[in-house]
Amino acid sequence: MKKGTILFFSVLLLLNYNAAAAQFSKAGTASAQFLKIGIGARAMAMGGAYGALADDASALYWNPAGIALADKPEFCGSYTEWFADITHQFVGVVLPVSHYGVIGISAVFLSMDDMEITTIEEPRGTGEYFSAHDLSIGLSYARMITDRFSIGFTGKYISQAIYNETATGLGIDIGTRLITDFHGLVIAMNFSNIGNKMQLSGRDLLCGYDLNPNSSSNLYTDAYLNTESWALPTNFKVSICMDIIGEGAAFFSSANHNLVLGIDGNHPTDGPERASIGLEYQWRQLVVLRSGYKINYSDETVALGIGLKQKWGGKVFTFDYAYLPFNQLNDVQMFSISYRL
């Protein structure tokens, strides 16, 4: 009874967000916004309610403490057709290192079609094109501190580029994960994107400056336009997940059916508090159906997805698909695969 009461109030705390408490909008106050785009169709189909559930290679993004459970090498990759001809890709590899823990390597890449340069004199285009892309490369380490508690870290290099200008930065993620004996309840916490500010620089910012505009004989001096620096989109997340139906400690016992509930609460530095609720139903560990609901997101509410899992002699191959409808923008589709040796 006591544990049930604690769980009840934990859920209330995660969902009790007061939008009226935000006196001003913090949107647009952070750099590297691509870091906020979730990866993996499994997680995204659950609305991103995945911080406590993450125990595969996609945990390199969601919560590095989750990879501590890996006892075999694993690969994960995802591809997202984002709106406005933008593509978002992720690849991650997890490698157990004996009793020393688990290491992981990951990369996130966002790109878009080249755009034609326009000027005041040539508003229809000059015939020249420019590109824009973002990149993050991470190195992770995690280990089990006890048989129930794990901790993980990720250090990452972050780069953004548009035309001839680039901005770079360094960031870290810190995550923890606790497995309880109450119906498979897992409690997780994660700080993401803690790091330095990013500032664009490049040759297009070179300009001429007249030190004495009152004189007609002086020459222009080379100068650089100074761009604003912006912090990374730091986020603090508290997550729980629980086995509702399944074997072992689940609320309702079943050998062929599994149902997992996930809840995430997010406190970002550049936006309002948000929450996600997700469900994952699995039949005979072969076919998986998922759905998620997002709370206090500006243009997202519902997420849906499906997964297929196949085992070959101890090796596991998984294919996942997520459909993310947006209220104003184009709907998004995400595909991901994972392979565990």
- pLDDT value of residue 25: 62
The pLDDT of residue 272: 92
**Pseudo-torsion of CA 71, 137, 52, 176, nearest 10°?**
80
Alpha carbons within 13 angstroms on the beta-carbon side of residue 308 total 4
Give pTM, 2 decimals: 0.88
Blockwise average pLDDT, block size 10, the chain, 341 residues: 45 45 63 96 97 96 97 96 92 93 98 92 91 97 96 98 96 97 94 96 85 72 87 98 91 93 96 96 94 92 96 91 92 96 88
Beta-bridge partner residues of 322: 305, 334
What pLDDT sits at residue 84? Answer: 83
Handedness of CA 47, 82, 152, 72 (dihedral sign): positive
How high is the pLDDT of residue 64?
Answer: 98
In CATH terms, is domain 30-340 a member of 3.40.50.300?
Answer: no
Q: Residue 68 corresponds to which tokens in the numbers above?
A: 């501590």
Look at residue 217 in the predicted model and tell me its pLDDT.
67
